[in-house]
Chains A and B, each alone.
Chain A
Amino acid sequence: MARSMHIMVVDDEETICLALSAWLTKEGYSVETAASGQEALARMAEKKSDLYLVDFKMPGMDGLQLLAEIRARQPDAALIMITAHGSIGSAVEAMKRGAIDYLCKPFDPEELSLIMERVEAARAIQQAEAPVADHYAGTSQLSWGGIVGQSEALRVVLNEIEEVAPTNASVLITGETGTGKDLLALAIHMRSEHAHGPFVAINCGAQSETLLESELFGHEQGAFTGALKARRGRLEMANGGTLFLDEIGEISPKMQVNLLRVLEEKKFCRLGGNQPIDIDFRLVSATHRDLRQLLREEQFREDFFYRINVLTIHIPPLRERLEDVPVLADFFLQKYAQETGKPVEGLTPRAVEILMGYNWPGNVRELRNVIERVVVIARGRMIGAEELRFLKTYDDSCRSAPATLREAEILHLQGALEACDWNVTRAAKMLDIDRVTLTRKMKRFNLKRP
């Protein structure tokens, strides 16, 4: 992923500068270091950074003074204050004067990682320039914040986003896996009055219940074994911004009750704490499941459902808006060509035809994976039918697929495996399922390399 963010680390302790810059470099950022406030300002005059990580306590100019100097020279600069353990007072002071966050050293790797995610999200917001409407007015092609297409269906969705975004109502986004519901959530955030606050996303389906709980609510020191330090949860981080709960259909009824209480009272306590914390955020949720069905099966609470589902936006699957395929394919092709440095320029008309003839069960994500793969194997400047051969056989077999679902599944799996030379790992990735699941299915259907 192209990450052009440039970061300056300012600390008088060399080991801290080195350790932080090594960590950030591995994350793909370009990093420079300065040993003092004066050096930082001198370097800044040469080249501005997007983010400054500043130690609070330094000889000469201290962190707060440097913060003021940086803000005077570069008002849009993001700054994170690093403070010594136990000096929360200085951290609070720094936040009041415009630091976006703080870290008490030494900090947990996951804490640093979470803060960087927030900085990235905030930056994405800043960079997604003009409003949605301006972006596609007068052109047939829609492209905004990674949402790409030209279909009427997508235009309808974007219009709905324009309408719901400025309201403060909770929005539920529905659509199949891989349709890009996360991008729509971000689009709503950017067009809302919370746009200048944080956009905090969490996938409710990707973690265990206990982990999700501590991730959302945070915890106080000693709340459970291993909670060595107090930690803010995502609810707290989303204050003043938007909280995006992806895969909301996966959360347990107990967690639904807890969240419902937070949404109603606009306050909550960290795990192991009893100090209520006031919060205010806009809620956007998403699911690929049929929540009404879950309601009927009593796996989803009615009161919670109506709380999160004030407004609904549905994004149709890619097979219902095939006009978006060529635009999306070109978008991903340019992206991966740039990332891998391969001189791939475009798709032949025949290749586009093949892509449009396919029914994309994995939606935009599958298209993205296919293009990524094709760019990696491409030999020439143009991608032709030859490179997409795996996709064609794979689909033809599906289309002539007869009667039963079981037969269709077997043919589909077989096609994918053939396309990947029976490499189970690659085929699983293409099908967007995990390797174990695929192996199990192969065993069940007795699928073997011929």
Chain B
Amino acid sequence: MSVDISAEPLLDLIPYGEIDPLALSVLAANLQAVLGLPTRVRPDRPLPEDSFIPVRYQYDAVKIVGSLDRERDGARFRMGVIQRDLCIPILTYVYGESQLGGRAAVISLHRLHHIDRQVTFERGAKIAIHEAGHLLGLEHCREPGCLMRFSKQLEQLDLLPMRFCSACEYEIARLLKRAVQNRY
């Protein structure tokens, strides 16, 4: 089978509100390079006000993921990117949220901020790749040097190299092949 994967994006990055264009390019480049997921950046949209939780002053990640999942057009996987703080009903915050083996995810750059923009971008890329791994169907991994490891704190995230362990890498190759075959 020969499929030209560069032609058809498998993942749409969807900016909500104003996002640094350079951040989006870094995310897309890393998703493509580390995960091998052809990615395109879509035009930005207004902040999803229906997902805003006034008492918590945060956005509901589950709601955003739900609405992205229901959209008919677009690539097989879609990932929202937002500069505001995200949470889910039971947790005080999340860096990102995704459907395991599903279509939609969202990540927030809010808590990833660092004085050095490069560090912020790198953190964002790690979260984006991690959530995209969930979209492909990967669960958390316990290898200390693997992007599918759940990072309890930013310090842990920073220590992670930009790569998967060999078991996850093997699994991704398999799942990606399947995703390419069922891209529509």
Contacts and interface: CB of A to CB of B under 8 A. Distances in A.
Interface of A: 1, 13, 15-16, 18-20, 22-23, 25-28, 105-110, 112-114, 206-208, 211, 228-229, 336, 339-340, 372-373, 376, 425-426, 429, 434-435
B155 A113 contact: no
B152 interface: yes
A106 B155 CA distance: 22
Contacts of B93: 108-109
B184 interface: no
A15 B97 CA distance: 14
Nearest to B146: A429
B175 to A, nearest CB: 13
B150 interface: yes
A109 B91 contact: yes
A107 B134 contact: no
B130 to A, nearest CB: 10
Contact of A372 (B91, B100, B166): B166
Interface of B: 62, 87-94, 100, 134, 139-142, 145, 150, 152-153, 155, 159, 161, 163, 165-167, 170
Contact of A207 (B100, B134, B145, B155): B155
Given A113-B150, A208-B155, A435-B161, A376 B170 contact: yes
B52 to A, nearest CB: 16
Contacts, number: 81
Contacts of A228: 92
Contacts of B134: 26
Contacts of B166: 372-373, 376, 426, 429
Contacts of A25: 100, 139
Given A108-B91, A336-B167, 15 more contacts: A19-B90, A23-B90, A25-B100, A26-B150, A27-B140, A105-B90, A106-B87, A106-B90, A208-B155, A372-B166, A376-B166, A429-B145, A429-B165, A429-B166, A435-B161
Nearest to B141: A1
A18 B152 CA distance: 21
A63 to B, nearest CB: 15
Given A19-B62, A339-B167, A376-B166, A425 B91 contact: no
Contact of B152 (A105, A107, A114, A372): A114
